[in-house]
Structure 1
């Protein structure tokens, strides 16, 4: 659902540029493939923040194409994506979420801040307030 596929391209300088079809605003770089992959989660979360800033829903990931590598996001990041997209479906603003949860501005804003590490319990509570339940599945790597 939100496991985004990235591709690498040789840059004019040494290293690799990183792109994602599903997140066209994503722009990242790595010295080599391993470094590029390690930077990919941060690049994806930064790009997700742009969607929040622009009040746009976050697109689901499409199946990977040949030559692409899938990046598996942390569970809390996926939960935040679902929270944000549910808010967008309901035309809710951050202030609406804060009022619903009875929390202060900073606490509410962090629930949809992809660059802030939130406690999973807080995101789950916000999802529950919107009538959603988080389930986790584990699969072989």
Structure 2
């Protein structure tokens, strides 16, 4: 997975026309770290580093997190997300209501624009379903394990 992410990062950097040094400056991380990631010498970076790289490359954070293996690929149709088959109607209804609530979303006292809201929604959607799946797995494990 590390080398696959490194190849992906290099491809994204080259698509933007950035040298390693230019990406390092834009992301605020060292050029040697970027080189090690791209060459598969260093493992997949932490989410905070991926955030810096995604912002510097103007790549959606959720997409970069998927490429890094932090999030499972979510199936998409034209504009709607397909929920996991194990999700109940109540799960889907409650999650949809939470994400589509029309109240102003704010971060650090600053209202978020529609693009920021979409990015947050994409990341939260992936993380939410991943967490729900992990909780379901924990409930199905052997109850005698904890004794």
Query: TM above 0.5, one fold?
Result: no
Q: TM-score, normalised by structure 1?
A: 0.37
User: Going by fraction, where is helix more abundant, 1 or 2?
Assistant: 2
User: Going by fraction, where is strand more abundant, 1 or 2?
Assistant: 1
Q: TM-score, normalised by structure 2?
A: 0.35
Which of structures 1 and 2 has the bigger CA Rg? 2
